[in-house]
Amino acid sequence: MKKFTLFIAALFLGGIMYAQNNVSGVVVDGELGTSLPGASIVVKGTNNGVSSDFNGQFSIDAMPGSTLVITYIGYDTAEVTVGDSAELGVIELAPGADVLSGVTVFGTIDLAKDRETPVAASTLTANEIVERVGNLELPQLLNSTPGIYSTMQGAFGDATVRLRGFRQENIAVLINGMPVNDMEWGGVYWSNWAGLSDVTSAMQVQRGLGSAKLPIPSVGGTINVVTKSTELTQGGKVAATVGNDGYLKTVLTYNTGVSDSGHAFSASFSRTAGDGYVDGTPFEGYAYFLGYGYRKPDGKHNLQFIVTGAPQVHGQRTTSYYNMATLADYQKYGIKYNYNYGLRNGEGFNMRNNYYHKPIASLNWEHKINSKTSLSATAYASVGRGGGSG
């Protein structure tokens, strides 16, 4: 009798094991189509679970009719019902509204796709930018990425950046895919984009010429700043940042978030002022950003319109051949000494000052034709006025 009972139990367990399917699939980013390694796949209501491999692929035992719960940090949870087929195909996860740092690459405006495009790239998310920005200028946020070296110069907005040793004249800098390098000498006046760090969805550095599909020939690489109203969650902030040498930055931002109809608005205004670290380099700058976005519910169309600018004025310390202090001057007056600064009629006076205002307006349209094909177009216009004295 005991042997008979064991025999029946073995048949019953075998039937259960036979009823289970070994199903497989691939987990990818719903917007970019890139694989998501390390995604968690669990049979709902059980402890049976696996993780996706380096290519986003997974295989798990699950009975027909059961539900698989797929999760990945920074993405919305997806549930898939197991059918008779052993192949679940591609499972797309949508980026969540509250994305943790270092996980999701926002925006599809010419951002390199990890492991799919032959470009060495690093991406900073919006959360990482907020954590690092402080009183840093935009290019200095990238100092922690491989191949980037950025430093402050003599005054506000005069930062410079090198990528793999190449000067910024050999680096393509883009905002939503638009080139912002100076038309004459190829460099970038970072003071023109002082307010972008408050509304940036992502910053990506593509190192080397590679095969980047960008409008400017760049030997050193590419820096692309992406701003998307439809990627910003609803809410606003009022913030003040205080630093040394009288530094004070006040910021006011508000984002509506994406409405049920797919519309989104963003606005940001800021003022930055201070005395400057170097003698005679006071600065005052304002920044404004107005953005509108529209994303169709099916996710196939995305429209972005922005207007941004940053009027500013600041004193400078130049190091030109004909206007350079000697070592003896610095030993006598200290490292903050400014050859261009002195007294006139009893008041401080700097003969080297810079002023500039170059607003830019752009319209970006993206159309996702299918999972492998997309179409995008950009129209932009910019006018500016600026100069210097001395």
CA 85 to chain centre: 39
Q: Is residue 148 part of a domain?
A: yes
181 and 246, same domain (yes or no): no
Three-class secondary structure of residue 148 per DSSP: strand
Q: How many domains does the chain have?
A: 3
Rg of the chain, C-alpha, whole Å: 27
Bridge-based pairing state of the strands 171-175 and 221-226: parallel
Given a cut of 80, whether residue 351 has pLDDT beyond it is yes
Domain boundary among 180, 198, 229: 229
- Continuous segment of H or E residues that includes residue 19: helix 2-19
Given a cut of 60, whether residue 298 has pLDDT beyond it is yes
Task: Measure the CA–CA gap between 185 and 193, rounded to whole angstroms.
Answer: 18
Read off the pLDDT of each residue in 223-244 and give the average, rounded to a whole number.
Answer: 81
Task: Measure the CA–CA gap between 188 and 222, rounded to whole angstroms.
Answer: 13
CATH number at residue 187: 2.170.130.10
38 and 167, same domain (yes or no): no
CATH number at residue 29: 2.60.40.1120
| Residue among 153, 150, 148 at smallest CA distance from 138 | 150
Q: What is the DSSP string of 256-285?
A: ----TTSEEEEEEEEEEEE--SSTT--EEE
> CB burial class (10 A; 0-12, 13-18, 19+) of residue 4?
exposed
Read off the pLDDT of each residue in 258-276 and give the average, rounded to a whole number.
Answer: 88
83 and 146, same domain (yes or no): no
More confident residue, 318 or 368: 368
Three-class secondary structure of residue 326 per DSSP: coil
Domain that holds residue 332: 230-389
Q: Is residue 108 part of a domain?
A: no
Give the whole-number percent of the chain exceeding pLDDT 90: 8
Task: Measure the CA–CA gap between 118 and 295, rounded to whole angstroms.
Answer: 29
Task: Measure the CA–CA gap between 370 and 368, rounded to whole angstroms.
Answer: 6
Q: What is the dihedral of CA 202, 219, 166, 385, to 10 degrees?
A: -70
Query: In one letter, which amino acid is 321?
Result: Y
* Least confidently predicted of 11-15, 76-80, 217-221, 256-260: 11-15
Q: Is residue 379 part of a domain?
A: yes
264 and 153, same domain (yes or no): no
242 and 382, same domain (yes or no): yes
Given a cut of 50, whether residue 101 has pLDDT beyond it is no
Q: Is residue 101 part of a domain?
A: no
Bridge-based pairing state of the strands 87-93 and 21-29: parallel
47 and 158, same domain (yes or no): no
Domain boundary among 167, 199, 229: 229
| Residue among 126, 132, 137, 178 at smallest CA distance from 161 | 137
CA angle 26-17-4, nearest 5°?
A: 175
Query: In one letter, which amino acid is 237?
Result: K
Give the whole-number percent of the chain exceeding pLDDT 70: 82
More confident residue, 7 or 57: 57
Q: What's the token pair of residue 31?
A: 């917007």
pTM above 0.75, yes or no: no
Domain boundary among 200, 229, 258: 229
181 and 250, same domain (yes or no): no
Q: Is residue 9 part of a domain?
A: no
Q: Give residue-wise pLDDT tens across range 58-75.
A: 999 888 889 999 988 778
pLDDT at residue 98, rounded to an integer? 45
More confident residue, 182 or 209: 182
Q: Is residue 12 part of a domain?
A: no
Query: Phi, psi (5° rounding) for residue 161?
Result: -135, 145
235 and 222, same domain (yes or no): no
Q: What is the DSSP string of 61-120?
A: EE-TT-EEEEE-TTB--EEEE--S-SEEEEEEEPBPSSPPTTT-----SSPPPTTTSS-E
Task: Measure the CA–CA gap between 150 and 139, rounded to whole angstroms.
Answer: 6
Read off the pLDDT of each residue in 132-143 and give the average, rounded to a whole number.
Answer: 78
259 and 218, same domain (yes or no): no
Q: Is residue 103 part of a domain?
A: no
164 and 276, same domain (yes or no): no
Q: Is residue 252 part of a domain?
A: yes
Read off the pLDDT of each residue in 309-320 and give the average, rounded to a whole number.
Answer: 82
385 and 241, same domain (yes or no): yes
Read off the pLDDT of each residue in 265-272 and give the average, rounded to a whole number.
Answer: 90
279 contacts 295 by C-beta, under 8 angstroms: no
Look at the alpha carbons of 127, 133, 234, 94 in this order and tell me if their dihedral is positive or negative: negative
pLDDT at residue 27, rounded to an integer? 92
Given a cut of 90, whether residue 343 has pLDDT beyond it is no
Q: What is each CA distance from 322 to 326, 329, 337, 339, 342, in whole angstroms? A: 11, 15, 17, 11, 17
169 and 216, same domain (yes or no): yes
27 contacts 41 by C-beta, under 8 angstroms: yes
Task: Measure the CA–CA gap between 140 and 160, rounded to whole angstroms.
Answer: 9
Task: Measure the CA–CA gap between 24 and 62, rounded to whole angstroms.
Answer: 10
Task: Measure the CA–CA gap between 159 and 148, rounded to whole angstroms.
Answer: 13
